[in-house]
Each structure stands twice: as C-alpha cells, then as structure tokens.
Structure 1
Amino acid sequence: MITLVPVGGLANRMKAIDSAIALARETGTDLRIIWYKDQGLNCRFDELFQQLSVDNNIKLKEASFLDRWIYDRPRKKNFFLPKPFQQLLFNDCIYEADATERMYRGFDFKEWARQKQVYLASCVYFFRSDNKKLFDVFAPIASLQEEINRRSALFNEHTIGIHIRRTDNIASINESPTELFIEEINKEIDRCSDANFYLATDSEEDKKILMTTFGNRIMTSGKPAVRNSVSGMQEALIEMYTLANTTKILGSAKSSYSETAAQLSGIKCVILKR
C-alpha cells in the first residue's frame, strides 16, 4: 500500500493525488489518501469534489484526530510525534521536500512503491503515466459545477483566461507584475478585436485595475478573493475550472494553479514573467 498525504494548496494537492493514482495503477498497489484541513487548504475534500472516479483499491479519507498523530507530516507544529509511528508502520517514508527533489532527479517511484508499505507526502506531480489523462478522476460537486457552467456560458471563441497570483506568493508578485498582464492584454486585443478575458485572482486591487483599464472586456467574480474559508476555497475551484474553459491562459510565475487550470482541458498556458 501507498499512503499519500497531499500537501499545500488546491493545485498542489490535485497534482499529488493524480500522480499517486497513476503510480498505484501502474504498480498494482493499493492507495490510501489522507486529506488534512490545514492553513494551506482549510476545506474538506467533499466540499470541493465528488467522490474520486477510481478503482476500489484507491481510497480517500478525511483525517481523523488519531490520523493527525500517526500519519501527518512530522514537523515542529506536531512536535515530530508522527515520525516514530511512521518508522514502525512503513518500509520507507518520503516527505514533500525530498519528493520534489527526487522528482527532478528522475527517481524511480515505481520500483520504490512495489510490494512495500510506503508513505509519501507531496505537493508536486511526481509521477506521470502515458495511460492516464491528467486530472480525469476529479469532478467538482454539483453546486460548484453549476456555477462553472454559468460563468463559462458568457464566453465567446476568443475568451482568454488570466490568472494573477498575489497574497503570499512573493515570486509571482516580483516576477509577474500587473503591467505585464496589461501589455499582453493589449497585444491580444490588437490581434483580435473580439477578445475578452476571464480574470481569476486573489487580489482585489488587480481586479479594479484591469476592470478600470479594459472595462467590459474583463469578466471576473464579484466575490472577495479570500482563500482561508470553505467558501473561499470553493471559489478558487470554480475559478480554476472556469479558466479551463477559456481558449488559453495568461498565468503567473511560480504558481501551480495557472498550469493546473490549463492542464484540466489541455489548453495553452503562457506564463508572464520579467
């Protein structure tokens, strides 16, 4: 069995889950996914997605109180108490920083997972399979899908997605300033006079700037860009899937959200950076 703890925000967790499912299928291994509500994503899985469309040997569960002391990532916050339990329960454990490093080194996750009890905490797409379409196991819950459909119905064949990441992502703030998006939007309008744009952002200031500059060419959510509540995370999911219904995405540097939104439907993602 593989035990996976997906880490980070929405896009990071989707990547980790999707790759773990691909790995479990290719190795014929059971997979247990434990979903934790935390500062990175303060929301239950079933408040975002329908039950995963997967085989019976793959299960996802919400973390219980006991899980927090046995399967959570060992760190200062929990006094590293899960570590001795994990050393007893698993043949090997890989935590998120090491998982990312091994991914870049071309580590053989298939060989590592075969015929063993292993633990993995990850925030990246650490394993890809040619036999699996990216993110095909995920489906938003009905109420969120209805809102995605409502927003997407306003699009035309020239609607372009824009994702501007701000808040705590210093790299995105520094490398993908708002003026780059304004320049690119002007270029797109020059290419096609019918171009319009769906803006997804966690910055109310950027919403105001782009709507003031481009008027009704900009479509965006009227809801506040808050990501630390259930409603905020549901809005983040709605925006991700709405972006996926555009023709291409202009995204922010060092944000997996831009890339994941594009991968959902296989459209182009252009990262704007200095």
Structure 2
Amino acid sequence: MATDPTEFWKQLSRARAAFLQGDTDASRAAFQQGQRALATGDAMLDRQRQLVLERSQQHFAGSGEASPDRTACLPAGPGPTVGETGGLSGNLAGNLIGAPSVATGKQQVFIDAQHGLGNRLRAIAAAASIAGKTDRELVIVWHPDAHCDCRFDDLFQYDGPVVSEPFIDTARALGYRVYNYMEVEEGAEKDAPIDASGTASLYIRSAYPLNAPEAVTAVEDRFLRRLDPVAEIRDMIASVRTPNDLSVHVRMQGGLAHEALPYEAPENWTPEGRAQIDYWRGKSHYSNFFRRIDQLTDGAGIDRLFVAADSQATYDAFLDRYGDRVAWLRRDVYDRSARQLKYALADIYLLGHTRRMLGSSWSSFSDIARRLSPNKLATELSGKDF
C-alpha cells in the first residue's frame, strides 16, 4: 500500500471523534491505522516520506511541548509517534486531534492566518467560505506572534480544529495545493488565483482577502457573525454604555513614525506597502475625525459617540473635546498582547452596535467591525469620505 497522507488525516479525525465519545479502544485503533497508512509503502516513496519528516522537524523543532489541553486526546499505546512514521510532527497532530471538533474525514482547507487581528479574521472568513463551497474541512492555523500574541481560544469559543504551528513546507511535501500571499516571503504571490477544484487539501498563508470564486462575501460574513467571543470579552462589551449614535475607529499607529515596534517593522511589508500605510495613517489623525463629527452633530443629530482607538492620547483628545458624550472601553495597555487583543475584539463588536461608523482607511479592523455588525452599518472612511 502506498503512503497515503489523506488516509492518515481521515483516521486522525476518527480517532478524535471516538475519544470524544469515550471509546478509547476505537480511538487508539484508528490512530494506529493512520500511522500505518503513513508508515507503509514501497521503496519508491521512501525518499518522499523522509523529506516530509525532515521538513516537519525543521519547522517544529524547538517549539516546546504543547499545553495539556491540546494533547489530552492523543491515544496512548505502543508504536511509533506520528513524526517517526515520516508524516506530520507529533506536536502538530496533537494540536489538531486535541481540538474540540466534529470529525468529518474530509479534505481540508488550512488557513495560516497572518498579521493582526482584523487581517487574520478576514483571511479565515474567506477560507471558511472556500471550505464550505468545496465540501472541505476548515482548519485554522493560528500562531501567536508579535502581530497577534494570543491563542484563538483566548478570543473565541470555537468547535473547529485549530493548529498552533505553521507547516507550509510540510504541506508542500504532502502534496497539498499551497498558496502564500505574504509577498515579502520568498516565492509568495499576493492575490494569486486559488484553484479549489478537485480533491486536494489546500494550505493558504495570508493576511489578506483570498482570490477565489468560492470566497463569497455573504458566506464569509455569516461565518464571522457566528463566531462566539469568550465570556470575558462579552463582559467587556456589556460594560460599555449603549446605545450610541455614532461609532468611531481611529487607527493612527503605524507607518514610518512607529517602525520601531515589532508589528510595524519595515520587513513586514514591501516598500510600496509601507508607503501606503504611512499615507493612510496620516489621513486617520483624530483631528480629521473631529471635523466630520462636528458636521454630523450640527446636521444629523449625532450626540452620543463610541470611540475605539490605538492610543491613550487619542482617547484623551476625544474626552477633552466631547466629554461625557464619549463612551469607550477603558484600558491601560496598547500593544499586541493577549490582554490587549481581548479589548480589541470587544471594540470590534462595539463599533458595530451603532448604525453609523467613521472608520480608518487601510484598516482591516474597521472592515471587520463593519462586517461583524448586526446592523446595516453606514460607513465613512478617513481620507476617502471625509
């Protein structure tokens, strides 16, 4: 029997399902059958299996042990680990099998979400649409880094599989159809057309919308709105005054003035991308929002404001100008830590709790707030509409 990574993933899903149903014997048997699917084969595939092993070890070496809740579902018993078979590393398989997911046995769409919170959610939503339209299983690859230093389950109660370590080279070795939109990386092509035909699993690395006919905005938005924030974030949302007449998102941090920050460092973008960011961040200075708010106050009956911003200085400026007309989610941290990202996600939901928003151009955060809103959110963007 030839080496079959597809059979391995199918058996891994079955093992997970059996474990969640309390049938440890069936779980162990399915897991070992998946191992055998990778371990067996003729001599012509020996080199392919070795390549997979080498790339798995390269990408996951030094990653440390996974937390107990992520590996609790790994069946015990004799036999080689997944890594020893020449397949995916044990750490990756442990993260996947440990996720509280309903097993499907389908091919997968792996979305290796990159950059900040809004960028990641936008890419994941597009991948979810592709997965749904092609009858594949969505697997989120969410790696905490300088842009977004939290786990997916720090933010959402989610029943689907989540992997914590990227494995793009291993995906190539396994024969997945791989797309990398991160244009500063070697071999990447932003906006490359994604071919989701056939039955191959897809591995997509992106911080951007996906170029595929199966990425349908209405389907993406339904996925986003079904995401369930954790209780701590729901409590944050409930703590802020509502209703408000206007929501305001001011995104000033970024561009040349903030390149010392790791998540704003020049190597994250092409020179053209850096120039665009610097230009649009300048258009999002809070003084530009003041002029538009004052116009709306005079002519559209706007009184109560909700403000989301990326610095205390911006909040202070709004409070000095508008006083108790301003509602905001108080905090003392403005970085990309897990703690701050919880505030950020609460802000996204709060921005959508009005029927009108002033947003920041070139900001996925404003875009996601609009798309997550349960209302038809009339949106104006800095530098474009005011």
What TM-score comes out, normalization by structure 1 length?
0.81
- Structure 1 residue 86, shift from structure 2 partner: 3.2
1:124 aligns with 2:208: yes
- Structure 1 residue 201, shift from structure 2 partner: 0.5
- Equivalent position to 2:239, from 120, 143, 150: 150
Give the whole-Å Cα distance in 1 for the aligned partners of 2:371 and 2:171. 34
Are residues 10 and 113 of structure 1, via their aligned partners in 2, closer, same or farther at CA, if it must alter by over 3 Å? farther
- Structure 1 residue 223, shift from structure 2 partner: 0.7
For the 8 Å contact 1:171–1:254, the answer to whether it is kept is no
For the 8 Å contact 2:134–2:196, the answer to whether it is kept is no
For the 8 Å contact 2:128–2:220, the answer to whether it is kept is no
Pairwise CA RMSD: 2.1
Task: Tell me which residue corresponds to 2:109.
Answer: 2
Give the whole-Å Cα distance in 2 for the aligned partners of 1:193 and 1:138. 33
Are residues 24 and 114 of structure 1, via their aligned partners in 2, closer, same or farther at CA, if it must alter by over 3 Å? farther
Question: Within 5 Å, which residues of 2 pair with 1:50-65?
Answer: 50-52=157-159, 59-63=160-164
Aligned AA (1:27): T
Give the whole-Å Cα distance in 2 for the aligned partners of 1:23 and 1:99. 19
Q: Secondary structure at the match of 1:112?
A: coil
Q: How far does the alpha carbon of each residue in 1:56-100 deviate from its partner, in whole angstroms, 9 at most, with x for none?
A: xxx33241xxx45xx15xxxxxxxxxx3x3331134311123564
Give the whole-Å Cα distance in 2 for the aligned partners of 1:150 and 1:91. 45
- Structure 1 residue 261, shift from structure 2 partner: 0.3
- Structure 1 residue 186, shift from structure 2 partner: 0.2
- Equivalent position to 2:175, from 87, 90, 104: 90
Are residues 193 and 27 of structure 1, via their aligned partners in 2, closer, same or farther at CA, if it must alter by over 3 Å? closer
Are residues 21 and 99 of structure 1, via their aligned partners in 2, closer, same or farther at CA, if it must alter by over 3 Å? farther
Give the whole-Å Cα distance in 1 for the aligned partners of 2:204 and 2:284. 32
Runs of 4 or more consecutive aligned structure 1 residues displaced over 6 Å after TM superposition: none
1:270 aligns with 2:380: yes
- Structure 1 residue 31, shift from structure 2 partner: 2.5
Aligned AA (1:149): A
Aligned AA (2:296): E
For the 8 Å contact 1:48–1:237, the answer to whether it is kept is yes
Give the whole-Å Cα distance in 1 for the aligned partners of 2:217 and 2:283. 32
Task: Tell me which residue corresponds to 1:78.
Answer: none
Are residues 145 and 112 of structure 1, via their aligned partners in 2, closer, same or farther at CA, if it must alter by over 3 Å? same
Are residues 99 and 140 of structure 1, via their aligned partners in 2, closer, same or farther at CA, if it must alter by over 3 Å? farther
Give the whole-Å Cα distance in 1 for the aligned partners of 2:119 and 2:351. 17
Give the whole-Å Cα distance in 1 for the aligned partners of 2:234 and 2:326. 22
Aligned AA (1:248): R
For the 8 Å contact 2:177–2:202, the answer to whether it is kept is yes
- Structure 1 residue 149, shift from structure 2 partner: 2.2
For the 8 Å contact 2:130–2:196, the answer to whether it is kept is no
Q: Secondary structure at the match of 2:239?
A: helix
- Structure 1 residue 25, shift from structure 2 partner: 0.9
1:247 aligns with 2:344: no
For the 8 Å contact 1:240–1:261, the answer to whether it is kept is yes
Give the whole-Å Cα distance in 2 for the aligned partners of 1:136 and 1:90. 33
1:17 aligns with 2:124: yes
Task: Tell me which residue corresponds to 1:162.
Answer: 248
Task: Tell me which residue corresponds to 2:8.
Answer: none
For the 8 Å contact 1:50–1:140, the answer to whether it is kept is yes
- Structure 1 residue 270, shift from structure 2 partner: 0.9
1:38 aligns with 2:139: no
Q: How far does the alpha carbon of each residue in 1:122-143 deviate from its partner, in whole angstroms, 9 at most, with x for none?
A: 1123222545644123111112
Q: Secondary structure at the match of 2:171?
A: helix
Aligned AA (1:87): R
Aligned length: 243
Aligned AA (1:86): A
Q: Secondary structure at the match of 2:156?
A: coil
Aligned AA (1:119): Y
Task: Tell me which residue corresponds to 2:337.
Answer: 229
- Structure 1 residue 192, shift from structure 2 partner: 4.0
Aligned AA (2:321): T
For the 8 Å contact 1:202–1:225, the answer to whether it is kept is no
1:203 aligns with 2:292: no
For the 8 Å contact 1:176–1:272, the answer to whether it is kept is yes
What TM-score comes out, normalization by structure 2 length?
0.59
Q: Secondary structure at the match of 2:229?
A: coil
